[in-house]
Amino acid sequence: MSDQYYEDLAARLTDESMPVKSAGRVKIGAEAAADGLAFLLAEYGSERAIQKAIRMGRPHVGAEKGEKSPVVRGAIPRGEFEQFEHLRRETGRSQSELVREAIHLLLAKHRHAS
């Protein structure tokens, strides 16, 4: 999808004059699970295909297929860790996502980011 598509979409979603349509009745619990399974079966064709797709997991970050991603480890002061955990909970992002973003910002600051 093009940049223009996303720009047009953003304009529509932020235009207060555009009506917001109800998604209808919200399903929860077993009813939601059954509808979710029906959706997945329609997309994948079988429970076996769904399981195969789920087992694939997230691809390695920045690595070629079959190659492991490099791992970075480090220690930080407890106070910074507590702030980091607060940020993680607040954003709903994983530690890995936040560390990748922090490294990218640091590299960009020093003009080494891709």
Q: Is residue 63 part of a domain?
A: no
Q: Is residue 11 part of a domain?
A: no
Average pLDDT over residues 84-113: 90
The pLDDT score that the predictor gives to residue 28 is: 92
Domain that holds residue 87: 75-114
The pLDDT score that the predictor gives to residue 19 is: 82
Specify whether 114 is located in the same domain as 79: yes
Total structural domains within the chain: 2
Average pLDDT over residues 58-77: 77
pLDDT digits (tens, 9 = 90+) for 53-65: 887 666 667 666 6
Q: Is residue 106 part of a domain?
A: yes
Specify whether 79 is located in the same domain as 108: yes
**Contact by Cβ (8 Å): 98, 88:** yes
Q: What are phi and psi of 29, to 5 degrees?
A: 60, -140
Specify whether 53 is located in the same domain as 79: no
d(CA 42, CA 35): 11
Q: Is residue 34 part of a domain?
A: yes
Q: pTM of this prediction?
A: 0.45
Task: Using a pLDDT cut of 90, give the percent of the chain over it.
Answer: 43
